[in-house]
Amino acid sequence: MVKLYGAYRSRATRPLWLLEEIGMSFEYVPVLQAKRLDNPLDGDAPINTKSPAFLSINPMGTIPSLEDDGLVIHESLAITLYLAKKYGGDLGPKDLAEDAQMLQWTLFAATEIEATALKISMALLGEQTEDVKATVEAAALALARPFDMLEQHFAGREWTVGNRFTTADINLAEIVRYAQPHAPLFVTRPGLKSWLERAQARPAFRKMWETRLAEPASGPV
């Protein structure tokens, strides 16, 4: 059985959403971020990203990680692509061209959007000072070009690849989400906004998100 290590308030949301979409049974192993704990190395501490037991799975101490029949995979986006190809049916690529497109949009999100969008999520967690507002505006300006590309892509298109919902939508949506608190980025991009709303209206996303909200908070991811 597939075993997923992680926390709902982490990038594990990506494979957790995909697993809900697939509807397959899996073992979930909660692994807290060490920063949540006063003494993560205490003998009574729950398993966390500094626990020797987890470091034996992932020496980097990052979540999520996946085990599947002896294969261990780290990095959330690699995990979703693997699961979609092996278990996901139509959520995965139908041919080499779709495989390349799903990888393209996944890497596009990771390289062109994620770090900048996270600045928005982080900044909007605290007091809205002038410095915070400046940070958000600078990040929004930097996101204009990739978001304009997405707006163009979703003009007359419901989903990212192959005219159906796929893991590419999960990977992209879970990164674009970091910028979602800054509404002006989406007001002027109705195609992008509609696509994100469609993705987040899916029952599998809602179930994953409800579980995430029930977990103690620890940052925006």
pLDDT higher than threshold 80 for residue 217: no
- In the chain the domains, ranked by start, together with CATH numbers, are 3-90+206-214 (3.40.30.10), 91-202 (1.20.1050.10)
Q: Tell me the percentage of the chain whose pLDDT exceeds 70.
A: 98
Q: What is the pLDDT of residues 92-119, one digit of tens each?
A: 999 999 999 999 999 999 999 999 999 9
Q: How confident is the model at residue 219 (pLDDT cuts 50, 70, 90)?
A: low
**What one-character-per-residue DSSP string does the chain give?**
--EEEE-TTTTTHHHHHHHHHHT---EEEE-B-GGGSS-TTSTTSPSBTT-HHHHTT-TT--S-EEEETTEEEESHHHHHHHHHHHH-GGGS-SSHHHHHHHHHHHHHIIIIIHHHHHHHHHHTTS---HHHHHHHHHHHHHHHHHHHHHHHHTTT-SSSBTTB--HHHHHHHHHHGGGTT-THHHHT-HHHHHHHHHHHTSHHHHHHHHHHHHSPP-S--
More confident residue, 136 or 221: 136
User: Across residues 74-84, what is the average pLDDT?
Assistant: 98
pLDDT at residue 42, rounded to an integer? 86
Mean pLDDT for 18-47 is: 92
> Residue 57: what pLDDT?
96
pLDDT of residue 126: 74
**Model pLDDT for residues 121-147, shown as the tens digit of each residue:** 988 887 778 888 899 999 999 999 999
